[in-house]
Amino acid sequence: MKREWIISLVAMGVITFILAAAAAILLMRGAAPSIFGGKPQINIYVLAPPQADLGEEIQIKIMIENEGDSVFQVDEIRMPAQLTDAAVIEEVFPSIFPGQQEFYVDWTGYKIGMMLEPGERREFVIKLMPWQIADVASRMEIISKKKTYSTGFRILFNKKLVLEPTATQAPPTIPPTWTPQPLPPTDVPPTATSMALPYRSVVKIIAKVKHSSYLRNLWGGSGTILTPDGLILTNAHLVLPIPGARPDVFVIALTNDPAEEPVETYYAEPILTDEDLDLAILRIVSDLRYKPVDWKNLNLPAIKVGDSNLVELGDPLTILGYPGIGGDTITLTSGSVGGFTSQRAYGDRAYIKTSATISGGTSGGVVLNSKGEMIAVPTQLGPGGERDVVDCRVITDTNMDGEVDQRDACVPVGGFINALRPVNLALSMIQTAQQMIRATPTSEVISTPEK
């Protein structure tokens, strides 16, 4: 009897252990998302025109939403051979590997290399030009860590139809007595793109370091000319040194023609920086031969500064800068005001959020309102006051050992931003910089780089 009781007790213990183990496994599975980082929950949408004429440049947009609770890595966008055989792919934007492709049997992959945080949504734009008649009915594939996500689309490439008059239908003619009538007045305000864009006021800023009697590029960004005598507004992180890399000079490249690369023309030096605002003011000091400039006769095309407090939700925005993607010419990005972010030190409009996807090289450039006035500065610092630059990459040989590797310092370029610093937060800096210049003798202001 005692032996049977012991056997029953052992059996109950075994059953209890099995049930506890099963419950633990179920609990672990239920808790896996929070313990192991969760799983991405991805939605993919393709927006494509139903048809396009041969020779007409069009865009296909891919929207990726990460509704999961872990980071989603977009390694590659793959396009079907049906599409790449019938059209020339001009650009895939954004991508930190522009132009890098992988060719497969029925697909062409375009390297992206970007991360989507939980809750983040990002739009990728494919610019293409059809050259062959085709009915493309296929799908786009997104590759993430060797996994494939896809969604379908369809687009028809055809010749442009030209209607010619027939014998029974004569072309319309304008009556001899007809005179053009004035258009009715409208209250719709003009957009910035309908006016003369102040692209000449936007400059490219290149940070350089001396090495073996030569100047080598460290990083680049954008800036805006504030005054005809050479004050330039930009981001602080573009002019402040970083661990392992300290610029010796800053070169200012002027925008003479929007279809051409900017021309390196002057040296400038920072005279005022505010790391918390991520804003800085430089002043042009000499030409590239180290000859001091005559500030009174510079006559640079200064931007017109507007009032960022008047910007409202949904207002159109135009962003100008040098993103460094798809060429080195100045680039225009359009968007609208998507909201505002507050900070205790700067109030309810510490940042302006925008729907535009702005490349990191545009940081420090100019944001225009519908009147063509400067109302903000794109910045790579994230909204909420973080001190670290959103995207810092190892892309240049900062330690001068002849190799670009992990031993080099990362530099604050690349990535994408949608935060704008209102220009009203820079007004006191601008006034202080002007007072500093007026109060400082010329000999103390000029400190040209050593030859």
Query: If you write DSSP's letter for every residue of 120-134 in order, what string do you get?
Result: -EEEEEEEEEE-S-E
Instruction: Quote the pLDDT of residue 300.
Output: 94
Identity of the amino acid at 39: K
pLDDT on residue 440: 59
CA torsion sign for 111, 114, 115, 120 is negative
**322 domain residue, yes or no:** yes
Integer angstrom CA distances of residue 224 from 255, 290, 299, 330, 367:
11, 22, 14, 12, 10
What's the CA gap between 399 and 407, in Å, rounded? 8
Pairing verdict, β 51-53 and 147-158:
parallel
- Domain range for 421 is 199-445
Q: Report whether 267 contacts 284 (CB < 8 A).
A: yes
d(CA 66, CA 83): 26
Number of independent structural domains in the chain = 2
Alpha-carbon distance of 268 to 284, in angstroms, equals: 4
Residue 310 located in a structural domain: yes
Domain boundary among 126, 158, 190: 158
Judgement on whether residues 146 and 214 belong to the same structural domain of the protein: no
Residue 357 included in any domain: yes
User: Quick check: is 318 in a domain?
Assistant: yes
DSSP lists the bridge partners of residue 354 as 337
- The region that residue 350 occupies, defined by phi over 0 for left and psi between -120 and 50 for alpha, beta otherwise, is alpha
- Whether 136 and 235 map to the same domain: the answer is no
CA–CA gap between residue 321 and residue 333 (Å, rounded): 9
Residue 404, pLDDT score: 52
Name 131's Cβ contacts closer than 8 Å, sequence gap at least 6.
54, 55, 86, 87, 88
Residue 386 belongs to domain with CATH number? 2.40.10.120
CB 72 within 8 A of CB 114: no
Measured in degrees and rounded to the nearest 5, phi and psi for residue 308 equal: -70, -15
Overall pTM surpassing 0.85 (yes/no): no
Same domain for 208 and 136?
no
Residue 19 in 3-state DSSP? helix
> What tokens does 64 get?
């990726």
Are 280 and 349 within one domain? Answer: yes
Q: Which helix (H) or strand (E) holds 336?
A: strand 331-343
Burial 390-425 (b: 16+ CB within 10 A, else e): bbbeeebbbeeeeeeeeebbbbbbbbbbbbbbbbbb
Element at 226 (helix H, strand E) = none
**pLDDT score of 437:** 78
Q: Can you name the residues that pair with 87 across neighbouring β-strands?
A: 130
Instruction: Report pLDDT for 386.
Output: 39
392 domain residue, yes or no: yes
Does 149 share its domain with 214? no
Given a cut of 70, the residues of the chain with pLDDT beneath it are 1-40, 160-195, 212-213, 244, 324-327, 357, 359-361, 380-418, 439-451
**One domain for residues 147 and 242:** no
Instruction: Please state, in angstroms and rounded to a whole number, the distance separating the CA atoms of residues 16 and 12.
Output: 6
Cα dihedral 300, 304, 308, 314 in deg (nearest 10): -110
Asked whether residue 169 is assigned to any structural domain, the reply reads no
The residue type at 355: S
84 located within any domain = yes
125 and 208 inside one domain = no
Closest C-alpha to 278, from 383, 353, 199: 383
pLDDT of residue 1: 53
CATH code at 67? 2.60.40.10
Co-location of 49 and 137 in the same domain: yes
- CB atoms under 10 Å from CB of 444, counted, come to 8
R_g of the chain, CA atoms, integer Å? 29
Q: Determine how many CB atoms are found less than 10 A away from the CB of residue 187.
A: 4
- Strands in 134-144's sheet, in edge-to-edge order, are 51-53, 147-158, 134-144, 72-80, 107-116, 101-103
Asked if the structure places residue 57 within a domain, the reply is yes
10 three-state secondary structure: helix
